[in-house]
């Protein structure tokens, strides 16, 4: 089965971590939580979910992964300052494998320079950031543009998770 990197930091949106994470595990995939500090305990912004960082971006090779899934909340904003994680995303994108981001997750895609000329969706407050970075923003539950899979909010997580699983099955 596939190996998925899930970049995460504190104050992630609880359900945007848990639902895709559980869907991937149920499908038999292996998920690696990637953060700034290996072993660091992370808590969701609602305090409903907690997890631990498995690896740092410095320890990873993009070629070892089949997909990246970026939960939203405040986590992407914290992670966009990690030059190692941004470099990992650029390296991963160059491989042509799926990158999925929900809600505020596309902030990391902007930082990595991956959105220009692409069509994406996000939480509405990220719309202008995406457009300023050269993306076309659409208001729909899930948007698939090549290898980029984006989604707006927790209400869209079933469709988002299904789109990720479909991309892995293709």
Q: Residues with catalytic annotation?
A: 103
- Is residue 25 within 8 A of residue 6, CB to CB? The reply is no
Question: Phi and psi at residue 56, in whole multiples of 5°?
Answer: -100, 160
């Amino acid at each position: 089965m596939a190996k998925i990197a899930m970049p995460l930091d504190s104050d992630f949106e609880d359900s945007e971590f848990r639902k895709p994470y559980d869907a991937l595990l149920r499908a038999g995939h292996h998920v690696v939580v990637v953060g700034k500090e290996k072993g660091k305990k992370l808590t969701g912004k609602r305090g409903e979910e907690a997890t631990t960082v498995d690896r740092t971006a410095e320890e990873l090779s993009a070629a070892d992964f089949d997909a990246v899934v970026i939960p939203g909340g405040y986590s992407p904003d914290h992670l966009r300052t990690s030059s190692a994680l941004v470099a990992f995303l650029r390296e991963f994108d160059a491989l042509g494998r799926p990158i999925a981001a929900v809600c505020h997750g596309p902030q990391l895609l902007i930082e990595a320079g991956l959105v220009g000329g692409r069509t994406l969706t996000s939480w509405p407050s990220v719309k202008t950031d995406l457009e300023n970075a050269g993306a076309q923003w659409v208001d729909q539950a899930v948007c698939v543009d090549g290898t980029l899979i984006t989604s707006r909010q927790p209400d869209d997580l079933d469709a988002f998770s299904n789109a990720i699983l479909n991309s892995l099955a293709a």
